[in-house]
Chain A
Amino acid sequence: MRLDKIATIAWHEYVVNVRRIGFIFVTLLFPALGLLGLIAAGFFSGQMLSLARSQFVPPAKPAGIVDDSRLFTPIASVFAKGFVAFDDEESAKRALLAEKIRAYYVIASDYLATGQVTAYTENIISGSASTESGDLRTFLVNGLLTGKVNDATLTRATNPIKLDLVTLDSKGNRQGGGSFSFIAGFVAPYIFSILLFVSVFAASGYLLRSVSEEKESRVIEIILSSVSPTELLAGKVIGLGALGLTQVIVWLGSGFLLSGGIGALVAGAVVLLNPGSFVVAALYFLLGYLLYGSLMAAAGSLGTSMRESQQIAGLFTFCAVIPWFFYGVLLANPNALLPRVLSFFPLTAPTMMMLRLPMSEVPLIDIIGSLVVLLISIPIALWAGARVFRMGLLMYGKRPAVKEIWRALRNA
């Protein structure tokens, strides 16, 4: 295998594709949208906010209280803006229908024993129920405890939790704390893994298109007279992989710039807080791309047109997306049996592990096992891909049958 030829092909693929209108458009689309969003936010933030409020937030009307328990009336002055007392349900209902109050609550006479409160409202606004119950809860706790406990206890009883999340590693050492830790330890790696995933498939897509176009334009046989199929495949995989990375770097770079450096800070924290995970994620990225890239190139050589090649390649994309179908299982337990099994299957391993890594501490055996599976699968995929590639490239106007593909692999 000649490295200089591989480098020439890689460079050619990169340079030719990086200046395509389609590539430039897609690469700049996300930064442009982000910039547009920022400009829009800058110019219209005040108006937009009031518009949103007018659409989604109900007018600030008080709620009615019909206190049959006699525990909460008269209403304390601190709640006077939010709650109005009514002597009976009938007068409260009239006020509601006249839109003077947003709802009214009937507190049962045996409230202390049962906790029974009935809420009446004209329309249920999605998402407002929890807010309502939160306000009412504060009102009730306050009513029950005022004068019986000191102010500090009363404050704590109405607002009992200020949660700080601290993650410990397997040795019991603190890994950091606070919401920044949550972002750096979970959200950012998760976004990072999505970006890697997008990058792998963007590059594989370019590979598929490049092979398919060269076959369709009949230029492939001229190229194959100068280089071996393996050299051609390797050059394309490297060149178009670099192209996919370029796209991700532009997206990340613009994200950092548009976020005013916060993105860079978080990304830096990701690397510093989880250097191991970062290295492993990068490994999965590389191995995943090599695996999918080889298979995509083979798929590109099999179709008689770009559309047909995409249909064939869809099978591999589907396999890679399977882990996302089980996202619910992953959230509940990233180390459950199903995610673990899919981590050892070559076509799902890169995606599954990229998803699992930020979620929890993945058992070492899973990491080593899936990496070994990929390291074994990649040479097989490259070998098979190059053979199918060699056969498929020379079949014009006809898609090879499964029997012919099998024969190409067997006779190689």
Chain B
Amino acid sequence: MAEYAIQVEDLRKVYGDVIAVDQLDFQVGRGEIFGMLGPNGAGKTTTIRVLMDILKADAGTVRVLGGAPGAARERVGYLPEERGLYRGLRLDETLVYLGRLKGMSVASARKRAAALLEQVGLAEWSRKKAQDLSRGMHQKLQIVASIIHDPALVILDEPFQGLDPVNSEVVKDLIRDLRAHGKTIVLSAHEMSRVEALCERILLIHHGRAVLYGALADIKKQFAPNAIEIAPPLDWQGWAEVARVEARDRKQVVYLQPHIAPRDFLKRILEQGLFVEQFALATMPLEQIFVTVVKGE
């Protein structure tokens, strides 16, 4: 059994004169939730389509679940960015057909479809046509369609697109549930807060190349500013160690001068006898890291 669910080495994909992906390397471990990020046109969807064997790579090595792309189609679930379902077909018919294409028997596809529709709150709609569903319901149905065959690896391209907060939570729970059952999940999304909440490791692609790759905690540490999150808010007037202060909810983010270590700052606070309920190293939100990296490129 291979260690990685996905291994990509030196991937290159070109459309005429446009280089969509170049020298891309990354691995996705089995059982992890992996985030694939990048601005529009960065090369995320092209990479995913190569993983799914919908597009052929021009160069590089790609292994999916230990084999060539396409060799393990029946063990991979896919929610494409450009998606839709048969509008004139009933939900159960659509799911059974897609399950059959993934190698399931009619009976097992029907049973699994009923269970998943129940899980996402669409059980009552199973005999309705897709054209009768709302946009949010459509989204949930498409996610169900991508996991109907209980795949080992699930690739979700923008799964939260078009979902309201309530349905986003349903999908997040579904993803966590998949993870709890040992599935590997690759998530491509624009909503950084959701990626932050779900993913353990990320890959940031820009202009077809990897610009950030690794464990989310390590990346956040790498981009952490020399700042402290403090509660309750205090008055820092006259403190030479403090460069600037930002209010955040009921807390403060105190940015220290470059030469001041947080440990020394804490020592000084205690010496002054100030009451501090919370003192923590501040981190940069993923969205800010994303913007910083993309703009800095």
Interface residues of A (CB under 8 A from B): 4-5, 8-9, 12, 16, 217-219, 221-228, 390, 394, 396, 403-404, 407
CB contacts (< 8 Å) of B85 on chain A: these are 217, 219, 222
- Distance in Å: Cβ of A373 to nearest Cβ of chain B: 31
With a CB–CB cut-off of 8 A, which chain A residues contact B55? 394
Q: Are B52 and A225 in contact (CB under 8 A)?
A: yes
Report the minimum CB–CB distance from A215 to chain B (whole Å). Answer: 10
* Contact status A225-B100, CB under 8 Å: no
Residues of chain A within 8 A of B49, CB atoms compared? 394
Q: How far does the alpha carbon of A349 sit from the alpha carbon of B265 in the complex, in Å? A: 88
Segment 66-116 of B: residues with Cβ below 8 Å from A: 70, 73-74, 76, 78-80, 82-89, 97-98, 100-103
- Shortest distance from the beta carbon of B48 to any chain A beta carbon, whole Å: 10
In the complex, per-residue mask of B209-233: 1 if CB is within 8 Å of any chain A CB, else 0: 0000000000000000000000000
For the residues of B in contact with A, the DSSP-based class is: loop
B53 and A228: CB pair below 8 A?
A: yes
Question: Which B residues form the contact surface with A (CB < 8 A)?
Answer: 16, 49, 52-55, 70, 73-74, 76, 78-80, 82-89, 97-98, 100-103, 142, 145-146
A218-B84, A222-B98 in contact; A228/B70 too (CB < 8 A)? yes
A218 touches B101 (CB 8 A): no
Q: A8-B97, A222-B78 are in contact. List 17 more A-B contacts (CB 8 A).
A: A217-B86, A218-B83, A219-B83, A219-B85, A221-B54, A221-B78, A222-B80, A223-B98, A224-B52, A225-B76, A225-B78, A226-B73, A226-B74, A227-B101, A394-B49, A394-B55, A407-B16
B103: chain A residues at CB < 8 Å are 4
Among the listed A5, A221, A227, A390, which residue makes an inter-chain contact with B83, where contact means beta carbons less than 8 Å apart?
A221
Contact B73 A404 (CB under 8 A): no
A-B contact pairs, 25 of them (CB 8 A): A4-B103, A8-B101, A12-B100, A217-B84, A217-B85, A218-B82, A218-B84, A219-B83, A221-B54, A221-B82, A221-B83, A222-B80, A222-B142, A222-B145, A222-B146, A223-B98, A224-B52, A225-B78, A226-B101, A227-B73, A228-B70, A394-B54, A394-B55, A394-B82, A403-B16
Which residues on the B side are within 8 Å of A223 (C-beta)? Answer: 98, 101
Separation of A16 and B53 alpha carbons in the complex (Å) = 27
Residues in A with CB closer than 8 Å to B146 are 222
Q: How far is the CA of A228 from the CA of B84 in the complex (A)?
A: 19
Least distance between B101 CB and chain A CB atoms (Å): 4
Give the 3 A-B residue pairs with the shortest CB-CB distance, closest first.
A218-B84, A225-B78, A226-B101
Interface centre among A16, A218, A225 (most CB of B within 10 A): A225
Residue among B89, B98, B142 making CB contact with A226, cutoff 8 Å:
B98
Nearest CB to that of B97 among chain A residues?
A12
**Chain B: CB-nearest residue to A404:** B16
Q: Which residues from A are CB-within-8-Å of B53?
A: 228
Report B-chain residues with C-beta under 8 Å of the C-beta of A394: 49, 54-55, 82
Are the CB atoms of B82 and A225 closer together than 8 Å? no
Q: Are B86 and A225 in contact (CB under 8 A)?
A: no
Query: Considering only CB atoms, which chain A residue lies closest to B16 in the complex?
Result: A407
**Residues of the B chain whose Cβ atoms lie less than 8 Å from the Cβ of A9:** 101
Residues in A whose Cβ lies below 8 Å from that of B52: 224-225
**Bound CA span A201–B142, Å:** 34
Q: Report the nearest A residue to B79, measured CB to CB.
A: A222
Q: Report the separation of the CA atoms of residues A13 and B53 in the bound assembly, to the nearest whole angstrom.
A: 23
- The interface residues of chain A lying within 8 Å CB-to-CB of B83 are 218-219, 221-222
Q: What's the nearest-Cβ distance from chain A to residue B282, in Å?
A: 41
A394 to B79, CA, bound (A): 14
Shortest beta-carbon distance from A404 to chain B in Å:
7
Q: Smallest CB-CB separation from B73: which chain A residue?
A: A226
User: For residue A412, which residue of chain B has the nearest CB?
Assistant: B56
Nearest chain B CB to A239 CB, angstrom units:
12
**Least distance between A391 CB and chain B CB atoms (Å):** 9
Name the CB-closest residue of B to A228. Answer: B70
